[in-house]
Homo-oligomer: A and B are copies of this chain.
Amino acid sequence: MTSPAPLVAPPAAASTGAAHRRGPGRPRDEELDGQLVAATLALIDAGEEVTVGRVVARSGVSRAALYRRWPSLTTLIAAALDVGREVPPEVGDAVGLHELLLTGLGLGADGVAPSAPGYPEARFRQRIRLVMADRALQRAYWTSHVARRRVPLERALAAGVARGELRADLDVEAAFDAIAGVAYYQLVVRGERIDEPAVVARMRAAIELIWRGMRA
């Protein structure tokens, strides 16, 4: 079956490092972008404050080129925070929704989200720190990245409603919030490592609860 990307953190795939993957004919601009994003991410991972000056110094890309390519430092930081995450593929009707919710939280066969390669937990924690310090960044990250990543699963849920499998009055967005909220609560409030068996069991129990409430 199709294995959708987790809601909270991603599979190993990475969209960064364009500079390292340069092939013939790769546009120069994309390479610059890769350098800017990689430098920004390196600053974030190091726990350093991200400033234009530091990104310029670390990337070797000029200040003028940075501003030409990114309308604001906020959008560049949002892009860097999203490295290693991808919009999951559209889900075919053949995929069971129940299984989809579990894999969506990283509870499927592929293991648990935030310990996945490509998006280490330390980066997740940094991301939350940064967005809580800056609502403009939080909203930019939400709009440009998280909300887009939700679309395939939300479409699959809406299709489940159309098929009569899920309640006709299901609020798809609210259902998604409830499901993803379970994982965030572990990470942000309880401070759990969500690959521990007891945590996985509790998250599964919560998802089953939500699933029962969603079914027609």
Chain A residues in contact with chain B, CB under 8 A?
125-126, 128-129, 131-133, 135, 138-139, 142, 146, 170-171, 173-175, 177-178, 180-186, 188-191, 202-203, 205-206, 208-214
Give how many copies assemble into the complex.
Answer: 2
Q: Answer whether A177 and B185 are a contact pair too, CB < 8 Å, given A129-B129, A133-B125, A191-B138.
A: yes
**Please, which residue of chain B has its CB at the minimum distance from the CB of A173?**
B202
Complex interface: chain B residues within 8 A of A133 (CB): 125, 129
A173 CB to nearest chain B CB (Å):
6
Q: Which of B142, B189, B208 contacts A180 (CB 8 A)?
A: B189
Complex interface: chain B residues within 8 A of A184 (CB): 181, 184-185, 188-189
Instruction: Give the complex CA separation of A178 and B135 in angstroms.
Output: 24
**Please, which residue of chain B has its CB at the minimum distance from the CB of A185?**
B181
Instruction: Give the complex CA separation of A139 and B186 in angstroms.
Output: 11
24 intermolecular pairs with C-beta atoms under 8 Å apart? A128-B129, A128-B132, A129-B129, A131-B191, A142-B191, A146-B189, A171-B202, A173-B202, A174-B182, A174-B209, A175-B206, A177-B182, A177-B206, A178-B206, A178-B209, A178-B210, A180-B185, A181-B183, A181-B184, A181-B206, A209-B210, A210-B210, A211-B213, A212-B212
Report, nearest first, the 5 A-B pairs whose CB atoms are least far apart: A181-B181, A213-B213, A138-B191, A174-B205, A181-B185
**Please, which residue of chain B has its CB at the minimum distance from the CB of A171?**
B205
**Please, which residue of chain B has its CB at the minimum distance from the CB of A209?**
B213
A171 CB to nearest chain B CB (Å):
4
A190 CB to nearest chain B CB (Å):
6
A35 CB to nearest chain B CB (Å):
28
Instruction: Give the complex CA separation of A203 and B211 in angstroms.
Output: 17
Q: Are A132 and B206 in contact (CB under 8 A)?
A: no
Complex interface: chain B residues within 8 A of A183 (CB): 181
